[in-house]
């Protein structure tokens, strides 16, 4: 079995650090790559070796597959971990890595290819009894036929790009009169975004929950699942809050979804870490949507409830080892929630906010994990994803995880840029979130920026503290009114800095 002694991480920021930390625990040497914009990043300093790969834009740096492979040869690297985004789901890159005699820490190029196209993935899993949304099994090109099928399926329908992702090339059609226009839009968007105009039709599920199952496969045909993540709170197809487990699944549905996810992985001979995405309707009927063939941003919530280090498993699997545990060995323990702290102004339509982290103080303490790749004083580059940090809390149950999250959000001090922290606090305090029963409409149904100002924010807290202080210094009067005992007080609360 090939032993990995040195890994190059073909990524940046928090995920590069996350992977390097596990590599170090396994006594594996690490090589970072970085663009000119990331020269001073923590992921560069953490690595044993680091190589500047090019100019800030991704196409001149983190997406230069051939150059990355060249660096591996020069530095005697054994394996590449692609992280998420960038080259992680690029089957051609994966193939070139293997052809260069290197190990790709992830699935085979064939699995990536099969699951990268939605229609191909549906055909691949067809031999297993995987529930799927009613729809056309193949691409539709003829409008008359497409409309006929849509009537059969029943409006509303959804036109989806087969090569799609991130909601691109996806159009809801409410009634037959709108069909032609929406089909034209979906096709042209699919061509522009993916260079492939193939679209298909599905029944539109109007209030779906997004629930995904983490799977692991090894190169000996073993596949296990690590339960679900609930990811319904999204904006523009970007997840904002994720948790594990889901508060609404019954043990029976959880097991059925887990078995389905394992079958999907088996259908494409999957190895490595992957995620099988489902939508779940009001009746808790679930439907397979697609499979993501990478380590995902939200993997920490699964690590916390299972105690499994997913990156460690990925590395061992890439070396040819078997998964280190059996399905029956793992159980859900406690509850974990993750929020994505992004450089976006939740008061202004989540517009990306550029600037410098003048203040950046992380929350700490029991049940708090922060995965990040920035430090105080750094500027957030405009060239990449606006995510600054992932804040993850873990408690013995959902209530505890939420309480810890609210405490940790308040403890997170960021100034210099607007972040999604206030929005995430709003979510944590919303009745629909607290109930555990919500769907992908959460933001459109419940959120408007004005509501953030109704939350007690740091400034209000300071005002309240100042008022309390004023009342305390006038305690004689208060005592006269309330007859309470006097207590010592100081100005510390009113004097403390407010960063937000």
Nearer to ligand MV4, 207 or 478 (CB): 207
Nearer to ligand MV4, 231 or 421 (CB): 231
257 scored as a contact of ligand MV4 (CB under 6 A): no
Nearer to ligand MV4, 419 or 440 (CB): 440
Of 197-205, 329-337, 408-416, 428-436, the window that binds ligand MV4 (rule: CB under 6 A) is 197-205
Which one of residues 208, 300, 363, 381 is an interface residue with ligand MV4 (CB under 6 A)?
A: 208
Of 205-213, 250-258, 376-384, 471-479, the window that binds ligand MV4 (rule: CB under 6 A) is 205-213
Q: How far is the CB of 402 from ligand MV4 (least distance, A)?
A: 21
Q: How far is the CB of 118 from ligand MV4 (least distance, A)?
A: 9
Which one of residues 59, 73, 74, 237 is an interface residue with ligand MV4 (CB under 6 A)?
A: 237
Of 146-154, 200-208, 310-318, 470-478, the window that binds ligand MV4 (rule: CB under 6 A) is 200-208
Which one of residues 199, 223, 261, 289 is an interface residue with ligand MV4 (CB under 6 A)?
A: 289
Here the tokens at position 63 are 């997406």
Of 5-13, 203-211, 301-309, 454-462, the window that binds ligand MV4 (rule: CB under 6 A) is 203-211
Location of structure tokens 């509303």: 156
**What b/e readout covers 334-352, taking b as 16+ CB neighbours within 10 angstroms?**
bbbbbbbbbbbbbeeebee
305 scored as a contact of ligand MV4 (CB under 6 A): no
**What b/e readout covers 18-44, taking b as 16+ CB neighbours within 10 angstroms?**
bbbebbeeeebbbbbbbbebbeebbbb
Active-site residues: which are they?
A: 294
279 scored as a contact of ligand MV4 (CB under 6 A): yes
Using CA atoms, how far apart are residues 54 and 65, in angstroms rounded to an integer? 12
Using CA atoms, how far apart are residues 90 and 86, in angstroms rounded to an integer? 8
Size of the chain in residues: 500
Of 3-11, 31-39, 201-209, 244-252, the window that binds ligand MV4 (rule: CB under 6 A) is 201-209
Q: Name the residue among 436, 241, 439 with its Cα closest to residue 337.
A: 241
Interface with ligand MV4 in residues 386-445 (CB under 6 A): 440
Interface with ligand MV4 in residues 110-139 (CB under 6 A): 133
Under 8 Å between Cβ of 452 and 423: yes
Which one of residues 234, 269, 359, 498 is an interface residue with ligand MV4 (CB under 6 A)?
A: 234
Interface with ligand MV4 in residues 437-476 (CB under 6 A): 440
213 scored as a contact of ligand MV4 (CB under 6 A): no
Here the tokens at position 132 are 């799927």
| Element counts in the chain: helices (H) and strands (E) | 18, 20
Q: Kindly report the backbone phi and psi dihedral angles of residue 267, in degrees, each rounded to the nearest multiple of 5, phi listed first.
A: -60, -25
Q: Name the residue among 487, 459, 460 with its Cα closest to residue 473.
A: 487
Q: How far is the CB of 466 from ligand MV4 (least distance, A)?
A: 43
202 scored as a contact of ligand MV4 (CB under 6 A): yes
To the nearest 10°, report the CA torsion of 136, 139, 141, 144: 0
Using CA atoms, how far apart are residues 379 and 6, in angstroms rounded to an integer? 30
Under 8 Å between Cβ of 28 and 129: no
Indicate the burial class of 2 (C-beta count within 10 angstroms; 0-12, 13-18, 19 or more): exposed
Residue partners of 18: CB distance under 8 A and separation at least 6: 311, 371
Bond into 283 cis (ω within 30) = no
Which one of residues 12, 81, 171, 210 is an interface residue with ligand MV4 (CB under 6 A)?
A: 210
Q: How far is the CB of 122 from ligand MV4 (least distance, A)?
A: 12
263 scored as a contact of ligand MV4 (CB under 6 A): no
Which one of residues 167, 221, 436, 456 is an interface residue with ligand MV4 (CB under 6 A)?
A: 167
DSSP state of 135: B
Q: How far is the CB of 439 from ligand MV4 (least distance, A)?
A: 9
> Which run of H or of E encompasses 482?
helix 475-482
Footprint on this chain of ligand MV4 (rule: CB under 6 A): 133, 158, 167, 202-205, 208, 210, 234, 237, 279, 289-290, 440
């Amino acid at each position: 079995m090939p032993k990995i002694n040195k890994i190059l991480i073909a990524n940046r920021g928090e995920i590069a650090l996350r992977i390097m930390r596990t590599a170090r625990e396994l006594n594996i040497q690490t090589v970072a790559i970085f663009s000119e914009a990331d020269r001073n990043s923590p992921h560069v300093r953490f690595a044993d070796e680091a190589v500047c790969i090019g100019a800030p834009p991704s196409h001149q740096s983190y997406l230069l597959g051939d150059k990355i492979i060249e660096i591996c040869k020069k530095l005697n690297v054994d394996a590449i971990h692609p992280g998420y985004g960038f080259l992680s789901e690029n089957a051609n890159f994966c193939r070139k890595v293997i052809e260069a005699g290197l190990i790709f820490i992830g699935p085979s190029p064939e699995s990536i290819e099969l699951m990268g196209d939605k229609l191909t993935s549906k055909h691949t899993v067809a031999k297993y009894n995987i529930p799927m949304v009613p729809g056309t099994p193949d691409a539709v090109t003829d409008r008359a036929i497409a409309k006929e099928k849509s009537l059969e399926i029943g409006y509303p329908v959804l036109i989806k790009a087969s090569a799609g992702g991130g909601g691109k090339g996806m159009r809801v059609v409410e009634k037959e009169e709108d069909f032609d226009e929406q089909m034209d839009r979906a096709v042209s968007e699919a061509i522009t975004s993916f260079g492939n105009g193939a679209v298909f039709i599905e029944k539109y599920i109007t209030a779906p929950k997004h629930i995904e199952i983490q799977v692991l496969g090894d190169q000996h045909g073993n596949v296990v699942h690590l339960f679900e993540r609930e990811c319904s709170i999204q904006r523009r197809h970007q997840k904002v809050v994720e948790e594990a487990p889901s508060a609404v699944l019954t043990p029976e549905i959880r097991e059925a979804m887990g078995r389905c996810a394992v079958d999907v992985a088996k259908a494409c001979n999957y190895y490595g870490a992957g995620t099988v995405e489902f939508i779940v309707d009001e009746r808790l009927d679930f439907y397979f949507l697609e499979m993501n063939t990478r380590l995902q941003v939200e993997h920490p919530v699964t690590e916390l409830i299972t105690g499994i280090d997913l990156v460690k498993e990925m590395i061992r699997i890439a070396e040819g080892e078997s998964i280190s545990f059996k399905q029956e060995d793992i159980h859900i323990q406690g509850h974990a929630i993750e929020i994505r702290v992004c450089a976006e102004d939740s008061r202004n339509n989540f517009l990306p906010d550029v600037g410098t982290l003048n203040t950046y103080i992380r929350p700490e303490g029991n049940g708090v994990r922060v995965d990040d790749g920035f430090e105080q004083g750094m500027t957030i580059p405009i060239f990449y994803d606006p995510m600054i940090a992932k804040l993850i809390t873990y408690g013995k149950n959902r209530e505890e995880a939420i309480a810890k999250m609210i405490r940790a959000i308040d403890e997170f001090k960021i100034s210099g840029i607007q972040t999604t922290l206030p929005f995430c606090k709003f979510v944590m305090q919303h009745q629909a979130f607290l109930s555990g029963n919500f769907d992908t409409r959460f933001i459109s149904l419940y959120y408007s920026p004005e509501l953030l100002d109704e939350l007690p924010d740091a400034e209000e807290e300071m005002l309240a503290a100042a008022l309390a202080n004023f009342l305390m210094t006038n305690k004689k009067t208060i005592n006269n009114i309330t007859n309470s005992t006097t207590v010592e007080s100081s100005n510390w609360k009113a004097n403390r800095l407010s960063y937000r």
